Structure 1
């Protein structure tokens, strides 16, 4: 009989722009496992707060929003992507904006919100396995994960990646502003009192500066095979 403890988990943590989101989608698709994008949950709470006029210093109201999110994740046309429906509206593209990302970083520092979302995140651990993408997957949410990864890259590299993404979408953006925003988000994520961004002691750390996404994916898949997780 397969118990919950037998369900394999790959926990991938790292700062914004390190490539973990794309790599996690590729891993989940290759393995046929479930995918948890924990960052999307915090972005959804931040977006819901903005939509309902809830101040980010109103922790009680944020806790209520986190506990009652009306959200659905649906397959997109691209199997590596997913559509996110919040209160009946497709917010998939809106979730990836810099504004919502900044809201998510602030919301994630609220202990009550983290506690409300923790149970939802752990519920993603179902057969045949889970690839979890976030900032505290290996340290807090899935400390029992069989394979923990910490992806990182320089702030300049991560800003250049984001700059290219936004330019490809036709958005006007300033590279120096992106660098400043990423550095500010890094400080918030690493200095918060609850579940700060850090590598788990037993995580494999990969600096993706100068690496292509396929190269990172193949490196991690080789480790998955080496650990006998297939």
Structure 2
């Protein structure tokens, strides 16, 4: 049996995070949401009125930001904390959606977070999802999954997710936001969203959630137990 790093990349709204959480739980691995780390940065910048375009301000702010993960046994789920405070809906609000992709394009921010992400994976036994996990953060990951889905389906999922949190949003605005994020993510100069050559593509458009989780768990177990 071997311990591995499992990298899951893909577009917003494809179910990366929810899938990665379930896969990690099934494997007994730690789940790390790299996208939530960027969202924590965005939340901090909004709350402290920091412009992500001002490099000196950003570098100083990054020294004040502590992002950590812990497993909540009662919830049977991983939690992300920003300077000791649990982050949940606060990093999923539309105001964060509007700037998180722009923040992720800043090379000095990406460099700082990639270093932190790599440190989290030194002992392996992790499932990390994001947009450059299999290409930049862990290019030697034993298993890489690239998730995609139809834009309209992703928009409906995102709307449902927000409404379940009591947030009313316009369907067209969500679709425009996802389209814009797709463009920014795939066209940024530093670590763009692309499929790693050895990644396995998983289209979640019409898959039952449990089936997509099982597909990945089966692939991971084959590597873990068979090498």
Do they fold alike, i.e. is TM over 0.5?
A: yes
2:82 matched residue in structure 1: 86
1:163 maps to what in 2?
A: 159
Matched residue, 2:48: 52
Distance 1:74 1:10, change over 3 A: closer
Deviates more, 1:141-150 or 1:171-180: 171-180
Alpha-carbon separation, structure 1, partners of 2:92 and 2:46: 15
Runs of 5+ consecutive residues of structure 1 not aligned to the other structure: 1-5
Indicate which of 196, 199, 207 corresponds to 2:192: 196
Q: 2:106 aligns to what?
A: 110
SS at match of 1:195: coil
Quick one: which of 14, 17, 41 aligns to 1:18? 14
Paired position in structure 2 for 1:124:
120
CA distance in 2, matches of 1:159, 1:209: 11
TM-score norm. by structure 1 comes to 0.90
Q: For each residue in 1:57-87, what CA deviation from the matched residue of structure 2 results, as whole angstroms up to 9, or x when unmatched?
A: 11232233234313343434421342x3323
Deviates more, 1:105-114 or 1:66-75: 66-75
Q: Which residue of 171, 174, 178 corresponds with 2:170?
A: 174
In the TM superposition, residue 34 of structure 1 has moved relative to its aligned partner by 1.7
- The alpha-carbon deviation at position 176 of structure 1 amounts to 1.2
Q: Distance in 2 between matches of 1:88 and 1:8?
A: 28
Partner of 2:145: 149
- Could you say what secondary structure the match of 2:120 adopts? coil
